Amino acid sequence: MVSASDPLALLPPGDGTLGHVAIGDVTLVTGVVLPAVTLAVQRWGRVNEDRSNVVLVEHALTGDSHVVGPVDSLHPTPGWWNGLVGPGLPLDTDRYCVVSVNVLGGCRGSTGPSSLHPDGHYWGARFPAVSVRDMVTSERMLADLLGIERWAAVIGGSMGGARTLEWMITHPERVRAACVLAVGARASADQIGIQTAQIMAVTSDPHWQQGGYHGTGRTPVTGLGIARRIAHLSYRGEVELDERFANRPQPGEDPRAEDLSMSGRFAVQSYLDHQAGKLVSRFDACTYVLLTDALNRHDVGLDRGGVEEALHSCPVPCVIGGVTTDRLYPLRQQEELAALLPGADPLVVIESPAGHDGFLTEDDVVGPMLARTMELSEQDTIERSRGLA
């Protein structure tokens, strides 16, 4: 039961309604204090009596807390795990209460560069650099406020997977089980390189204005669109793209015209234009830079004696998965996680042409992984109640 004074009353209703929770000042790893932070939260399902059934689902770079549901005035994209979370689905909301939080620094309701600074002007690029650990600090503060001592599970892919790993390593006693998809223990040289090119595409746009473009009516949409094109290529499979588009012209256009006007496009150019257009209509450029930079600095081994030591120290039972054609977070990175995390099941290899985005498209494989994660969570509950863990 949730009484008026119960901290759970801070949560929005269990039907996916978007709510906002003020968590106070957040002290970042750098020592900088971020004042008056708010996190946007959605949840599905009911919290049980002892609050032991709450699952935290972590979104990826340009995702948000809208795990489930249609496009509406508040949500520009459909739920990104619509087929996986809900009544009777692998993450069964008749049984579990699923909570998702727009990341610290995000632009879909949580405090970030596109929010107002306490001085009444937009934060913009004055927003301090945040790390994946800072994101988890803000979520730990939320859990404290809500009186949730342990998540039944923490689950996420890509940047959501990085947050999940940090939860597991920083607060193992607060995570009963976990599922980590399509991410690595630290950023690789390749990721830092490609992500830095994306950041530079945004910050080189004349409308960037040193990150102070909010409220000026001129936003760096060209740069953000270029960044998304580069990123989207890294999210999809190389063979998949060639099979879909090859070097065919976009119908009705002639990319081989001899005047170099670039007016005619290849089909893949048109596809990437479409993906870029969709992102710029829904995402803030400064937020994109902030979160991409956080991914560049992701390293679970930092100040913990290195990746091997950090992973070895983490006892949380977990399921790790990677996609065969992921060229951004290649399978070898999930092989490392599964080999070095003592609580990991054997690696789940997701056979898919879709590349990194496979964790969003391959419900048939990801569904059983979520079900298995909840099985591990239940086992841990039973072992604890018998005093074995």
Ligand X SMILES: N[C@@H](CCO)C(=O)O
Per the annotation, binding residues for substrate are: 228, 357
Interface with ligand ACO (CB under 6 A), residue from 80, 122, 208, 213? 80
The yes or no reply on residue 82 touching ligand ACO (CB under 6 A) is no
Alpha helices in the chain (DSSP H): 132-146, 159-170, 189-203, 221-235, 238-245, 267-280, 285-296, 307-312, 331-340, 358-361, 363-385
63 is a site residue for ligand X (CB under 6 A): yes
Min dist CB 189 to ligand ACO, Å, is: 24
Q: Name the DSSP letter for residue 22.
A: E
For ligand X, the binding residues in 121-180 under the rule CB under 6 A are 158
Q: Tokens 């983490």 appear where? A: 314
The letter for the amino acid at 128 is P
Residues 103, 106, 112, 116: what is their CA dihedral angle, to the nearest 10 degrees?
-120
Does 283 contact ligand ACO by CB under 6 A?
Answer: no
Query: What own/partner pairs with CB < 8 Å and gap ≥ 24 does 1-10 have?
Result: 1/49, 2/47, 6/147, 7/145, 7/146, 7/147, 8/47, 8/51, 8/146, 8/147, 10/145, 10/146
Of 16, 45, 63, 237, the residue at the interface with ligand ACO (CB under 6 A) is: 63
Count of residues binding ligand X (CB under 6 A)?
Answer: 7
- Per CB under 6 A, 288 contacts ligand ACO: no
Cβ atoms of 181 and 63 within 8 Å: the answer is no
Mark whether 326 is an active-site residue.
yes
Q: Does 275 bind ligand X (CB under 6 A)?
A: no
* Out of 188, 203, 270, 381, the residue judged to bind ligand ACO by CB under 6 A: 270
354 contributes a contact to ligand X by CB under 6 A = no
51 sits in the region (left: phi over 0; alpha: psi -120 to 50; else beta) called left
Instruction: State yes or no: residue 350 binds ligand X (CB under 6 A).
Output: no
Give the residue with the Cβ less far from ligand X, 345 or 357: 357
62 binds ligand ACO (CB under 6 A): yes
Report in angstroms how near the CB of residue 60 gets to ligand X at its nearest: 3
Which residues are identified as catalytic? 158, 326, 356
Binding interface with ligand ACO (CB under 6 A) = 59-60, 62-63, 77, 80, 157, 160, 250, 267, 270-271, 274, 278, 357, 360-361
